[in-house]
Amino acid sequence: MAADRDEFEYLAILVHRGHLERVDAEALFPRVQAGEALDELLEQELGWDPRVVKKMRRTRGGETPEIPGYAILGKLGTGGTADVFKAREAKTSRVMALKVLKAECALQPATRQAFIAEARFLERLSHSGLVRCFGVARSGTTFFSRLELVDGKTLLEELDGGRSFSEEEALNIVLEVSQTLSYLESQDIVHRDIKPGNIMLSRSGAVKLIDLGFAAESDSETDATDSTVGTVAYLSPEQARGGAAADSRSDIYSLGVTLFHIVVGRLPFESSDDRETLRMQVMESLSSPELKSRGISPHLHYFIEKMMAKEAEHRYQSFEELAEDIREQVVGRESLDFESQVRRKGRRRP
């Protein structure tokens, strides 16, 4: 009896996650294709311990972690160094998110230390716009942090799903994020990785800022490595040059790129070459026909232009200043929006 496709996929997972050498997988492949049981082959031909074979099967080669005291309910997402799972804590029955450091990353001391530091960093912060952290722990060789579960999607997931954001929606999101970043600013913390993939919208409408993996104290030095890890398209010119001190005005620039992205539907500076993107951010002026269209208000155009000014001193100088400006604009728009007032009055009726 020939094996089904799931067995070949599982064999590939074992190789991909480093549990099985490619040469061994290639030797087993024709026998699995002929219908022999893969688990038996791992035991008999490669000498795997039956307990290991069973664990690999239960966890799909370690894709799903086994952590005592937690029932894994499903996978929520994956990143460069960690996977996030929905889990129920047995002791309290509380459902939360477990951010689990990938096994290969746990072997790297610097990455492991950064993962632990991020969790401890987040644990001491308290703001409604941040995902709460309930601590970091270790089970055997597995490192994980316990996080508040946010039922929703990131802005990037929404954009990838084809969603478009109205000017009103975009401004309200940026206002919420600005208020959260103003709190971080009061704690002398710069996020340094503001982008749609790090902003979540819950089903209830809450806006949450996630992933403080690159966060740093104000004025701390960065290097070129810090400024080119997965966030090239959202970097400020000073970050793109490399070696700039951490500054909230860089976060303001990145939030401006995010605002542009969710309103226009594309990035302001794009290239298949990261180095070219960095050059464009430093050298080229912001130019977009969409910003000059009748669908974009002069106020929104102004916000984006000021947030994305090439020179930091020409941007908003604090998130409090930015939030106040946007708040006045949002309130002003609502006071002139008759339909919005009717909707609000309708909701207040018994």
Strand, coil or helix: what is 133?
strand
The continuous run of DSSP H or E covering 225 comes out as: none
Residues of the chain with CATH 1.10.510.10: 152-341
Range(s) of the chain covered by CATH 3.30.200.20: 70-147
Least confident of 105-114, 282-291, 309-318, 341-350: 341-350
Considering the candidates 193, 211, 247, 325, report the single residue annotated as catalytic. 193
Q: What is the DSSP string of 92-118?
A: T--EEEEEEE-HHHHTSHHHHHHHHHH
For residue range 214-230, list pLDDT tens digits in order: 887 766 555 444 444 33
* Amino acid in the structure at residue 58: R
Residue 173 CA neighbour count, 13 Å, CB half: 27
Q: What is the DSSP string of 142-159?
A: EEEEEE----EEEHHHHH
Secondary structure E strands in 131-262 = 133-139, 142-147, 152-154, 189-190, 199-202, 207-209, 216-217
Q: Say how many CA atoms lie within 13 Å of 152 toward its Cβ.
A: 21
Q: Which CATH fold would you assign to the domain 152-341?
A: Transferase(Phosphotransferase); domain 1 (1.10.510)
pTM over 0.85: no
Higher pLDDT, 241 or 169: 169
Which residues touch 188 (CB under 8 Å, ≥6 apart)?
217, 218
Q: Please, are residues 92 and 100 in contact by the beta-carbon 8 Å criterion?
A: no
Tens digits of residue pLDDT in 308-349: 998 899 999 999 999 999 998 887 766 555 444 445 445 444
Q: How many other CB atoms are there within 10 angstroms of residue 68's CB atom? A: 7
State mean pLDDT over 49-68. 91
Tokens at 89, concatenated: 């804590």
| 3-state SS class at 67 | coil
The highest-level CATH class for domain 70-147 is alpha beta
For residue 165, what are the CA distances in angstroms to 140, 172, 344?
Answer: 44, 11, 20
pLDDT of residue 233: 84
Annotated catalytic, 193? yes
